[in-house]
A and B are shown apart, each in its own frame.
Chain A
Amino acid sequence: MDNEKLLAALKTLEPQISVRENADRLAVTVPCERLGAFMSKLKLENALRFDILYAHTAIDWVAENRFELIYILSSLEHGHSLMVCVSIPRDAPVAPSVSSIWRIAEWQEREVYDMFGVLYRDHPDLRRLLLEDDWQGFPLRKDYKDDFMLEKPQ
């Protein structure tokens, strides 16, 4: 499916989406409370059939006080791909987990939790993945500081 058809299909599925500019593929922004239902429809709808979650990451927009969660989806059956973006508030970073839809999201969400401290509702095992278990703080947040880190001299 090409991008226009895909976007039209997504609009009928979920009218509240908006297109996100400056992306290398079709990217849509979904309100956070609609995310779970929208994602499971993407996986199950026959015309869409997004069966792979390639990547999941987050962006820390510290000036706007929000995290943007990015899901990159792809369909082996139809050969199209899609980026789904969700904004969540930075001071209460809670998002629904999609690990019941794609199993791989379990680890990807653990990594995002590890680096950004995003909490996922209904995640089966939300622990740190890459850093030590006793690590304090979330190092990919823009305001992260620790004793080891060296500041660039002005």
Chain B
Amino acid sequence: MGLITEKLPLYLDPVPGSSWFLGKLDEVINWSRANSLWPLTFGTSCCAIEVMMAAGASRHDVARFGAEVARPSPRQADLLVVAGTIVKRMAPRLRTLYEQMAEPRYVIATGSCVISGGPFIYHSYSTLRGLDGVVPVDVYVPGCPPRPEAYFYGILTLQKLIKEGETVRRPGERRKPVLAALPAGMTVDQIQEEMRSLLVTEKNSGDRRNG
């Protein structure tokens, strides 16, 4: 990878048509990176239940987006999912894990605790008010905790970010952090309606099974 990103643009730039070639190379590299995000799951509290366990389990199935290979080791991961409250004593450990990850590395901050301190913002002697002082964050996923759908939207947002990047010419470039909320126009009623229809089909299939 280092050979391609460091040496290749230098040699290819004088050649006519090279920018087209480099663009295609970008596309291929970005496509493979975006679709095989291996998350290092850093779950310290309730967000981990939604984001790591429910999203990984069969109903929501994060494998559809290529991010199901949860790694317990930072050296094999390229996406740090911080799910849960970060306290003062945890912050240096989190920073260490981030430093141990290989480039390119991305960070998703899920839940209000990581974004701003959440319910612990006042009168807390230990909770950090926001993760951005510890590690640079790419995508924020709001919620307390966010539903797996919101986490998927965060992953899709990150994939979009990665696919827009110029990997070969500007490899280490960081983009501005993004807030991944549900699309505009989506209402709570629609979500509840969808959940209700899901539950109804589940109930019917359960009835079929039983009788």
A interface list, Cβ under 8 A from B: 131-132, 139, 144, 146, 148-152
Contacts and interface: CB of A to CB of B under 8 A. Distances in A.
Interface stretch (B7-15, B50-58, B118-126, B190-198): B118-126
12 contacts: A131-B89, A139-B126, A146-B125, A148-B125, A149-B123, A149-B124, A150-B121, A150-B122, A150-B123, A150-B129, A151-B122, A152-B122
Contacts of B122: 150-152
Contact of A132 (B89, B121, B123, B129): B89
| Chain B interface size range | under 10
A139 B120 CA distance: 14
Contacts of B126: 139
Identify whether the interface residues of A are mostly helix, strand, loop, or mixed: loop
A153 B185 CA distance: 33
Contacts of B123: 149-152
A132 B129 CA distance: 19
A151 to B, nearest CB: 7
B129 A139 contact: no
A99 B99 CA distance: 42
Contacts of A144: 125
Best-buried of B123, B124, B125, B129 by chain A (most CB within 10 Å): B125
B179 to A, nearest CB: 22
Contacts of A152: 122-123
